[in-house]
Amino acid sequence: MSNNRYIVYQDFVPHGGSSSYPKDLTAVLVDQHGTPVEFGFEARKRWQTELGRGNPSRLGYATRFKMALRSDAPRVDVPRFDGSLAGADRQTVRGLIAGCLGKLYRTALKEIEATSYRGIGFTKDDIRWCITVPAIWKDSEKRAMRDAAAQAGMPADAERLLLVSEPEAAAVYCALTPGTLLGPTRPEGRLDVATAGSRFMVVDCGGGTVDITSYQIRPEGVGSTRLAEIGIADGGPLGSAYINQHFVEQVLADRLGVEQLKALTVSHPREIAMLEDRWEEQKLGLHSETAPDGTPTLTSACDIEVPGRLWEALTESTRERLTKLAFDDPYHLVLTPEEVTALHDSVVEPVLETIERQRRIVLDGGPVKGVEQILVVGGFARSTYLRDRIAHRFGNEVKVVIPQDPAVAVLGGAVHFAYDPSVIWGRRSKYTYGFGCAMPFRDGVDPVDKRFTDDEGVVRCNRRFRVMVWRGDLVPVDRVVEANLGVTERDLRHINIPLFVTFSDDPQYTDEEGCERVGTVTADVSGSVNLPSTERRLDIYYAFGGSEIAVETRDRVSGARRKATITFTELYGRHGKAGG
């Protein structure tokens, strides 16, 4: 693996901001027909203009919506859907994601075409694409992202379009890039990749989520097939966007009153949005200080200018109270250092708890050995307060490292991963995976209501859980788990094999508490129609070590081996039985 690759980043400057960012805002503006017309910071700028005019064109605006793709998405007030997109469902979210990916794809192709004119000489067919996804995403959400990419016009095959978890991409980046040790003297440092068996944790702090997992450098060092995942991915909706949401829910609600805030959000949405933007600018400029007891703290107040139209819309008593709290300065909203710290702690404290939890679940050595290094990456990692809290909490036990620019770690790592996916040797299974099938009935053990007799007169138990991979297993990327089963109905040409996950260590049945159906594997068994079930055998080959599940099946009678279609769904359906 080489660190000599040159990666070109684009700089985006938020409107009204003074600093650049290597990624555009996740935002889309659509027309009244739902067709995207603007993206990123440009979408936000035009939406705020439309709000000031009362949105006469009936546009719709969405931002921070990636996590709304989840079936168990967090609070709906952090992903934001306004105007004609208010109340957007998951199908709409998929379309918005496809729109963003399409914009990115077209922009990249334009750049590729420009380079070909400069003599570099490669085309779009020579490009491998890589999309990063949160580590906490389920298989169905990864598939939804892949489907959105295909809808956007990107290559759909697994060789040309890769998915990689965000902390995994960051791990690859940080293994190649010098960083800074977080501590009192902040010396230059680097992730230790030369020591065989070196272990490190990646804490990826983004806008919507914090994703955490741990890795080990295999004895050969960094290079082809050298990083192995040693912790089960953890995290949650703990990104910096939630600090902004708490600013609205707590600070603005306290200063303006809950009912007045609700009314102003409707009557003056543009001004409320501007107030949030000004808070975001203030937040980015905050710097952590050290309290007398050694703990990091925020000692600066935040002075936010209130838009004139919003100020004039406030009640007289509210204006008087705000003026008094702003040291007799009207048109200003002042937050005390204690309030600023409390807003950050509403997210930082859970982040620290999640890191501690990941340290406890690191496998193959457990909490006694654990990790020696913690890498802090992501856009939220630009917050000196977050970084200092992590260093203060864990710096005496492990080395805490931050790359030169934590905001580009995931992006840059994805480029390195796309160039050489074999850098990842193996991954931990977050779940116990298995499939539902029929097995011989066990008298006195299996429930009577699951008992049935197949076409050959064999008494079987339906909905048994056949384990393929256990939770916590380290699965090499090239490992294939094999199984076989019989088709118990003679006339079936295709069978649907339900794929299940659970956290249980000993699942017996697919309908027991904690088991969740995540998909269906459709297998072709047309080569053995009308044969006895004893002859209708199907071999199944599961690959769980990649970033996505892959399945192939082989009909033993016809000998045909095919890639199986996996339909990820949470609904349980039955199209024939499979026997064990």
* Mean predicted lDDT score pLDDT of the chain: 84
Task: State the pLDDT at residue 349.
Answer: 95
Please state the separation of Cα 579 from the chain's center in Å: 36
* Ordered structural domains, the chain, with CATH: 241-346 (no CATH), 429-579 (2.60.34.10)
Q: Per-residue pLDDT tens for 189-241?
A: 556 666 667 788 899 998 878 888 888 877 654 454 478 888 778 888 788 88
Check pLDDT > 70 for residue 55.
yes
Which residues have C-beta within 8 Å of that of residue 345, sequence separation ≥ 6? none
**Is residue 485 very low, low, confident or very high in pLDDT (cuts 50, 70, 90)?**
confident
Check pLDDT > 80 for residue 436.
yes
Task: State the pLDDT at residue 580.
Answer: 57
Strands 80-83 and 129-133 turn out to be unpaired
Q: Per-residue pLDDT tens for 62-86?
A: 988 877 776 655 554 567 899 999 8
For the residues 508-537, what does the mean pLDDT come to?
88
Beta strands in 197-342 (DSSP E): 199-205, 210-217, 227-229, 234-236, 289-290, 296-297, 302-305, 332-335
Check pLDDT > 90 for residue 150.
yes
For the residues 11-23, what does the mean pLDDT come to?
67
**Residue 12 to residue 323: CA distance in whole angstroms:** 35
Strands 234-236 and 516-524 turn out to be unpaired
Task: State the pLDDT at residue 187.
Answer: 45
Task: State the pLDDT at residue 432.
Answer: 93
Task: State the pLDDT at residue 433.
Answer: 92
**Is residue 152 very low, low, confident or very high in pLDDT (cuts 50, 70, 90)?**
very high
Quick count: other Cβ atoms within 10 Å of Cβ 429? 19
Taking the complete model, does pTM exceed 0.75, yes or no? yes
Instruction: Please state which of the ranges 246-255, 363-372, 396-405, 412-421 shows the lowest mean pLDDT.
Output: 363-372
Residue with the bigger pLDDT between 187 and 520: it is 520
Task: State the pLDDT at residue 546.
Answer: 84
Task: State the pLDDT at residue 35.
Answer: 93
**Residue 179 to residue 159: CA distance in whole angstroms:** 32
DSSP 254-271: HHH-HHHHHHHHHH-HHH
Query: Residue 482: which H helix or E strand, with range?
Result: strand 481-487
Q: Which residue in the block uniquely carries the two structure tokens 């159906």?
A: 517
Check pLDDT > 90 for residue 88.
no
Task: State the pLDDT at residue 257.
Answer: 93
Task: State the pLDDT at residue 206.
Answer: 85
Quick count: other Cβ atoms within 10 Å of Cβ 237? 20
For the residues 234-255, what does the mean pLDDT come to?
89
For the residues 276-304, what does the mean pLDDT come to?
90
The token pair that represents 521 in the structure block? 């594997």
**Is residue 116 very low, low, confident or very high in pLDDT (cuts 50, 70, 90)?**
low
Task: State the pLDDT at residue 22.
Answer: 77
For the residues 510-521, what does the mean pLDDT come to?
90
For the residues 401-417, what does the mean pLDDT come to?
87
- Closest of 379, 351, 339 to residue 64, by C-alpha: 379
Please state the separation of Cα 173 from the chain's center in Å: 17
Task: State the pLDDT at residue 251.
Answer: 93
DSSP 483-531: EEEEE--TT-SEEEEEEEEES-SS--BTTSTT-EEEEEEEEE-GGGTTS
For the residues 406-420, what does the mean pLDDT come to?
89
Task: State the pLDDT at residue 341.
Answer: 94
Task: State the pLDDT at residue 489.
Answer: 82
Task: State the pLDDT at residue 72.
Answer: 57
